[in-house]
Chain A
Amino acid sequence: MIEEIVRVVVVILIIVGAFLNLVSAVGVLRLPDVYTRNHAASKAATLGIVSILLATFLYYYVEVGHFNARLILAMVFLFITSPVAGHLINRAAYNSGVKLWDKSVQDDLKKEMQQNSKPKRMKLSK
């Protein structure tokens, strides 16, 4: 009985994971600028991969009886590192001057950067 339930859960998890990865790929193709593309790539793909890994772990645990700790470690690792990678890529893009989409309305970081760079320039001129 419990094996049947787990089998259904595994199938659902794999389908959901593959679907999320597909959605993320479509997002990368369709969205207009670097920041929104990165938003699609780093969020949806992370959850998709983690759900596929969870399905793999459950399958091997229930069907084969093998507790694979490496899969759990991989899930934790991906959950920590993938958003950080997205953040770093976006920040590098912003710092190297990649333009936002024409229809964006808000850029709070720009104001912040200008405020921070003003006293720096004063110091340099001294």
Chain B
Amino acid sequence: MKTNDIILQACTKIVLFIIILFSVHMFFAGHYEPGGGFIGGLMTSGALVLLMLAFDMRTIKKILPIDYKILTAIGLLFAVGTAAGALFFNVPFLTHAFGHVDLPILGDTSLHTATLFDLGVYFVVIGVTMTIIQTIGEDGE
């Protein structure tokens, strides 16, 4: 019997945006408040898993054609790249820099290269979690 999942799907469509916004907030709050790349990545992959529960795997692959193994690689590249970038300025490996920058719309913003490192962690966590869940989930089909 084909089940009717309309309540779950409609709820997912609304709740997904709340979860993803909150995970992005968690990612950017990491410098001054609890949060950071790891928990943000876990929460984003949680949102993607909810999407996979409500719809089927093939639809999700059509909407988000992402190879999560490549996403993991990109994340590691970000982490190693920000760490190795310090070597160009004659400072030890993993030295970070920060400063206040006047951006056109946002105004005075304090930017830190640790955010790029965190972005790497974020991508790696999403990539690894989604790879594990997809490889386990695809066995059944």
Contact = CB atoms under 8 A, between A and B. Distances in A.
B14 A87 contact: no
A80 B7 contact: no
A80 B1 contact: no
A117 interface: yes
Given A76-B18, A77-B15, A80-B15, A120 B1 contact: yes
B77 to A, nearest CB: 32
Interface residues of B, number: 9
A116 B1 contact: yes
Interface residues on A, range: 10 to 19
Contacts of B14: 80
B22 interface: yes
Interface string A53-80: 0000000000000000010010011001
B8 interface: yes
Interface in A63-103: 70, 73, 76-77, 80-81, 84, 87-88, 95
Contacts of B132: none
Interface string B1-35: 10100011001001100100010000000000000
Contacts of B7: 84, 87-88
Nearest to B21: A73
Interface of B: 1, 3, 7-8, 11, 14-15, 18, 22
Query: Which A-B residue pairs are the 5 nearest by beta carbons?
Result: A84-B11, A77-B18, A80-B15, A87-B7, A84-B7
